[in-house]
Chains A and B, each alone.
Chain A
Amino acid sequence: MAKANLMDYEKAISLFEVVIGLEVHVELNTKTKMFCGCRNEFGEEPNTNVCPVCIGLPGSLPTVNKKAVESSISIGLALGCQIAPTGRFARKNYFYPDLAKNFQTSQYDEPIAFAGALDVEVPSGKVFTVQIERAHMEEDAGKLTHVGGATGRIQGAEYSLVDYNRAGVPLVEIVTKPVFGAGAEAPELAAAYVRSIREIVRALGVSDARMERGNVRCDANVSLRPIGQEKLGTRTETKNVNSLRSIERAVRYEIQRQAQILADGGTIIQETRHWHEDKGSTSSGRPKSDADDYRYFPEPDLVPVMPSNELIESLRAKLPENPADKRKRLAGEWGFAEMEFRDVVNAGLLDFIEEAVAAGAKPQAARKWYSGEIARIANSEDKDVSELNITPAQVAELANLVDAGKINDRIARTVLAEVLAGKGSPEEIVKAQGLEVVSDDGALIAAIDEALAKQPDVLEKIREGKLQAAGAVIGAVMQAMKGQADAARVRELVLERANQS
């Protein structure tokens, strides 16, 4: 399909006010599904975590997972929402094989949580208050694989295969009110908002919050209106944008695309759009039409959920500190400079560093690895840090190997590459490949003597105070040791030699 014309971003922002709205789906990490006792587990053999309820066999009856309701209430409370004293489930009717029942059990007119607000800080340091419209409980759908099309896409597919393991997994959908006034920072705000949601649900412990696994998914609504106009523009909804970076890019793209259409005198079609990570663009999905006529009606097989005040207050008492407070605390504990800390937050590295520190890394060492080499590799591979094959615990291990003097920085970068290549943990790799620095002074002295034999004047120069002359020997020793020596120790030994003789 033809690539859309995009208006220059600055120009688009000067002509139009951006209005965004975000729908975030959070998969809960309960042991079992929302309405049945099947395991809620990622990556298992297809159709092995299914039962008559979640594959929609006739006569089966749903039962509500108590923990999922409590988790949903906790999310609502953390977002400053009111909790509905009475809520019910509803059937959202549609035909699509990702759910076998021909409807999704969701909530419609009585969501469990509503009317909240979340303060979100964007990279410039500005704080926006995002109003939360509602948070409701529903079930996830199964996973479709399209077979026979050239690209594995739905177009041209001969048939599709369905795995219902994910069908019925508890979801909480969090919907914002339209967000005004972010201007040029709307894309950053969208990403920062989703990051905050992810931090909150992770801190609550109610979701694994791994975006690369689809635990947190975002649909981004974007509309533009000429500056000064009261009436809202027509919006598009970009679906399933699954990394923080993509959210920012997708919103920015839609702003530029819509601005050009409007400036050319065209109209925006209210439609679903698909984000293509590879092309960095969105394409038209189906227009909003009959397919969105979901004929919601109250779920007759489930009774109302009426959380007691005692339950709500006990969950409120267990809320963890909110992300903004946590940042303040960590900034103090880690002793980063203000810019260092902000860079870490903006790069989305806070959680990784926090986990690495929890696994025993020194904060500065964890920061150095994540915002240096690891971010560089992620960037060069066009990936999110979360998509790289290394855990915060492994980063901690790597940093500690360097700190303990077992490997030097250069070797550590090699070890990092090996970890990313799936060769094992840093310690395993260092051991298996014999990468540990030579800390045996005997071996180092032998190599030093050998180097000195070739450059006999070096010791004399050092004794004359020309300490930089040691460099040539250190270089030769490092080469002889294939880089596996602590250069500082070699230097010490060379200087000792000079003083002895």
Chain B
Amino acid sequence: MSEITPDLVRHLANLARIDLTDAELLRFTEQLSVIVDSVAKISNIVDENTPATSHPIPLNNVFREDEIRPSLTQADALSGAPDSAQGRFKVAAILDEE
């Protein structure tokens, strides 16, 4: 069994800025436990003949040359923003630090 507890789910929800009711918290705790346990089964069939992979896609070294491509205009960049001022994205006061 996994160690998914309501406290852990509450912590994760906080980090992800997701508001959960107590009922949701319990439901997700159960569901996440099932998911984690299911994934954990993979460990049971892995033996020393199974090489570790860091990425599921059989590709590496996909690069772009250091060449400038067109950017958006300032107006286009800001067009989807809820608010802007002085050519910048405007965000609510950030309560943090000090």
Contacts and interface: CB of A to CB of B under 8 A. Distances in A.
Q: How large is the interface on B (under 10, 10 to 19, 20 to 34, 35 or more residues)?
A: 35 or more
Contacts of A38: 68-69, 71
Interface string A287-308: 0001001010010001111110
Interface in B67-98: 67-74, 77-78, 80, 85-94, 96-98
Contacts of B60: 86, 303-306
Interface stretch (B11-19, B23-31, B35-43): B11-19
A152 interface: no
Given A155-B98, A285-B97, A164 B89 contact: yes
Contacts of A161: 85-86, 88-91
B11 A290 contact: yes
Q: How large is the interface on A (under 10, 10 to 19, 20 to 34, 35 or more residues)?
A: 35 or more
Interface of A: 30-32, 36-39, 45-52, 55, 57, 63-69, 86, 88, 93, 95-97, 100, 110, 144-148, 154-155, 157-164, 274, 283-286, 290, 293, 295, 298, 302-307
A159 B93 contact: yes
A28 to B, nearest CB: 10
A93 B97 contact: no
A125 to B, nearest CB: 40
A64 B62 contact: yes
Contacts of A162: 88-91
A144 B54 CA distance: 35
Contacts of B72: 50-52, 55
10 contacts: A45-B87, A47-B78, A48-B74, A63-B64, A65-B64, A145-B88, A154-B96, A164-B77, A303-B59, A305-B60
B66 A163 contact: no
Contacts of B85: 147, 161
Contact of B66 (A32, A52, A97, A157): A32
Contacts of B93: 148, 157-160
| Residue from A50, A69, A93, A144 with most neighbouring chain B CB atoms (10 Å) | A50
B20 to A, nearest CB: 16
A471 B68 CA distance: 65
Given A66-B66, A303-B61, A50 B77 contact: yes
A154 B64 contact: no
A293 B15 CA distance: 8
B8 to A, nearest CB: 11
A303 B77 contact: no
A160 B88 CA distance: 9
B55 A88 contact: yes
Contacts of A157: 93-94
A32 B74 contact: no
A436 B64 CA distance: 54
Contacts of B86: 46, 161
A145 B63 CA distance: 33
| Residue from B61, B65, B66, B68 with most neighbouring chain A CB atoms (10 Å) | B66
A327 to B, nearest CB: 31
A302 B91 CA distance: 29
B57 interface: yes
A285 B96 CA distance: 9
Nearest to B59: A303
A154 B94 contact: yes
Contacts of A295: 15
A46 B64 contact: no
B78 A37 contact: no
Given A67-B66, A154-B98, A159-B93, 11 more contacts: A37-B68, A46-B86, A46-B88, A50-B77, A51-B72, A55-B72, A100-B89, A161-B91, A274-B98, A285-B97, A307-B61
Given A286-B97, A304-B60, A47 B55 contact: no
Nearest to A69: B63
Contacts of A97: 89, 91, 94
A157 B91 CA distance: 11
A146 B61 CA distance: 40
Contacts of A154: 94, 96-98
A283 B61 CA distance: 44
A31 to B, nearest CB: 5
A39 B69 CA distance: 8
A469 to B, nearest CB: 68
Contact of A39 (B64, B71, B88, B94): B71
